[in-house]
Amino acid sequence: MPTRTPLVAGNWKMNTDRAGAIALARAVVEGSEKHTPRVEVALYPPFVYLDAVGATLRESIPATKVTLGAQDVYHEKNGAFTGEISAAMLRDIGATSVLTGHSERRHVLHESDELIAKKTRAALDAGGGLRCILCIGETLDQRQAGQTDAVNERQLRSALTGLPTPLLAQLVIAYEPVWAIGTGKTATPADAQAAHHFIRALLNDLFGSSVAAATRILYGGSVKPDNARDLFSQPDIDGGLIGGASLNPADFVAIVAAADR
């Protein structure tokens, strides 16, 4: 059975300014240094600060293992797509991963499963080792209607069906129940584990046991220093996608420490 290196990813959403982004990145680099041999750490600043945060990471002494990612990507390679950013552009400025299908893109910006599938494919196809964290998860209404597994299955199948298996090596899944994002409500470790187990079983059906065993599945939804350890100790939870707490370096580093097992 392969060991999956835990990953803790900080999604800064539409927060910080340039100076604040640089200071936050510096504090995370410094605080997580003793954990990064065993925990991967990635930061997802707003697009306009990617370059500045990338330079901060590149210039850190000693050289940091903290990596840079983008919160979204467009699926076309180039052309008349005002306001959009391609996977090649992200690679060009040093991003090594992207998020797709974040719940705010699905539910605030109304991205469809089809669009998210195209973005996920474009990210994985971009080459150069660009990785993709595909986010999935049910709303409160869907959970209360007993549809959690069905929603996760639909979102996962629509994004992944037809992908060539070798591309799966660059994929990470983030299970983020929508009702837990930014609300202070967290799935219990047992409920989160049940969803992760279901997702891993589905990966097994779609791509076989080695992909299922190797793919990291992160939990996201109000992860904080005081609940991270219990969540990360579940067998199918391989780290976290962190929103609010990633803006506070002490909290984020404490969550990184909780993943260092």
Binding site for ligand PEP (CB under 6 A): 11, 176, 181-182, 220-223, 241-245
Residue from 40, 104, 138, 176 carrying the catalytic annotation: 176
- The partner residues of 217 in beta bridges, in order of sequence, read 173
**176 annotated active-site:** yes
**35 annotated active-site:** no
Residues 125, 127: Cα–Cα separation, whole Å = 6
For residue 16, the minimal CB distance to ligand PEP (Å) is 14
**CB-nearer residue toward ligand PEP: 124 or 223:** 223
3-state secondary structure of 150: helix
For residue 246, the minimal CB distance to ligand PEP (Å) is 7
Residues 168, 109: Cα–Cα separation, whole Å = 26
**CB-nearer residue toward ligand PEP: 54 or 101:** 101
**CB-nearer residue toward ligand PEP: 168 or 241:** 241
Region for residue 9 given its phi and psi (left: phi exceeds 0; alpha: psi -120 to 50; beta: otherwise):
beta
Task: With beta carbons less than 8 A apart as the criterion, state whether 240 and 220 touch.
Answer: yes
**CB-nearer residue toward ligand PEP: 32 or 222:** 222
For residue 208, the minimal CB distance to ligand PEP (Å) is 28
Q: Which residue number is nearest to ligand PEP in terms of Cβ?
A: 243
* Assigned token pair, 39: 């925990």
Residues 226, 146: Cα–Cα separation, whole Å = 28
For residue 223, the minimal CB distance to ligand PEP (Å) is 5
The DSSP secondary-structure symbol of 170 reads: G
Residue from 102, 104, 138, 196 carrying the catalytic annotation: 102
The DSSP secondary-structure symbol of 73 reads: -
Task: With beta carbons less than 8 A apart as the criterion, state whether 49 and 42 touch.
Answer: no
Q: Which residues are catalytic?
A: 102, 176
